[in-house]
């Protein structure tokens, strides 16, 4: 009787990809990890370096530099390849160049016979997630973008710092585009079941400042160190774990909307139930009037940006 072995194929071993590999190994999430990149020497070096740390890892993971053919037996293919956001660029500035790169990558993955789940991390992640769905021919539930998973984590961290509580006890979401039009869902934000907006420490100006720091965090980090990679890498590992372990966890990821939130034919960040089949269900929060307007605006920005590339 054949025993199934969990395999993750990572495409793109730059800052984000290599940080993801390191975090994945340290948490012992998968049994096999194959690294794929145009820069063969860099990926071979990463595989060697990671393997040298196996003696200190919680579980054994088989790690090697591979080719697209290795995607055939992968449960998850994680896409971290593409052009990086430079100082002064928005995520949407990357659309044209990364769509071209992704078409080539996804075609090669699908030729291998891959029949698993795509995780998309490259920006602009919402548009590229839509592209992967179109290019792959897979059901939309099996394409998941990292979406606002990191924005939500940043939001919870800053709220926890402000209120003096553990980040893990803050329940709040950032939804919409992973970018300049994202929005905080204040109407559903709470700490220990107590609505944040009802707290005596909820100064509106301070809360607005917290959100701005969340929205602009990537720009601040890029200006300081050139790129963001640790936080998103850990978010990607969390998402990978939810899939491989069939957790049915609720995570704010970029997924396809088909009527939810009154939106159709767009990938955008919303809470969703994630498991071994990918997106099991979109969690439709009851937004207030302002939040509904902001979310509709965010979705429309993505749709308008995609129009020249996905006509008809």
Provide the annotated active-site residues: 178
**Contacts (Cβ under 8 Å, ≥6 apart) of 29:** 8, 237, 240, 241, 244
Which value, to the nearest 10 degrees, does the dihedral of the CA atoms of residues 228, 229, 230, 234 take?
120
Q: How far apart are CA 192 and CA 186, in angstroms?
A: 15
User: Cβ–Cβ contacts within 10 Å for residue 92, how many?
Assistant: 19
Relative to beta strand 117-120, strand 174-175 is unpaired
Question: Is the link from the previous residue into 171 a cis peptide, with omega within 30 of 0?
Answer: no
Place of tokens 């990671």: 50
Pairing of strands 62-65, 32-36: parallel
**What's the CA gap between 129 and 144, in Å, rounded?**
7
Which tokens go with 35? 């690294």
Chain centroid offset of residue 43 CA: 22
According to DSSP, residue 216 is labeled T
Whether the CB-CB separation of 213 and 182 falls below 8 Å is answered with no
Return d(Cα 152, Cα 221) in angstroms, integer.
Answer: 16
Q: Which residue is listed with tokens 């990607």?
A: 236
> For residue 144, which phi and psi values (nearest 5 degrees)?
-130, 120
Residue 306, beta-bridge partner list:
none
């Amino acid at each position: 009787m054949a025993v199934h072995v969990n395999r993750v194929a990572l495409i793109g071993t730059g800052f984000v990809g290599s940080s993801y590999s390191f975090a994945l190994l340290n948490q012992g999430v998968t049994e096999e990890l194959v690294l794929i990149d145009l820069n063969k020497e860099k990926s071979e070096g990463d595989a060697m370096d990671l393997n040298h740390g196996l003696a200190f890892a919680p579980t054994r993971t088989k790690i090697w530099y591979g080719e697209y053919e290795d995607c055939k037996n992968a449960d998850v293919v994680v896409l971290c390849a593409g052009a990086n956001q430079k100082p002064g660029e928005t995520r949407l500035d990357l659309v044209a160049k990364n769509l071209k790169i992704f078409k080539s990558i996804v075609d090669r993955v699908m030729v291998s016979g891959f029949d698993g789940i795509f995780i998309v991390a490259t920006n602009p992640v919402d548009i590229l997630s839509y592209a992967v769905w179109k290019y792959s021919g897979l059901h939309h539930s099996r394409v998941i973008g990292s979406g606002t998973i990191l924005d939500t984590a940043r939001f919870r961290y800053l709220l926890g710092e402000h209120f003096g509580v553990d980040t893990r006890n803050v329940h709040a979401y950032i939804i919409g585009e992973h970018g300049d039009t994202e929005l905080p869902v204040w109407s559903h934000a709470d700490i220990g079941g107590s609505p944040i907006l009802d707290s005596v420490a909820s100064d509106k100006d301070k809360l607005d400042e917290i959100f701005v720091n969340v929205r602009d965090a990537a720009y601040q980090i890029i200006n300081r160190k050139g790129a963001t990679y640790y936080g998103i890498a850990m978010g990607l590992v969390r998402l990978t774990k939810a899939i491989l372990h069939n957790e049915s966890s609720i995570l704010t990821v970029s997924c396809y909307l088909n009527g939810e939130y009154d939106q159709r034919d767009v990938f955008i960040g919303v809470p969703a139930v994630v498991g071994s089949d990918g997106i099991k269900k979109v969690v439709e929060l009851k937004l207030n009037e302002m939040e509904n307007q902001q979310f509709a605006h965010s979705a429309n920005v993505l749709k308008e940006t995609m129009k020249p590339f996905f006509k008809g």
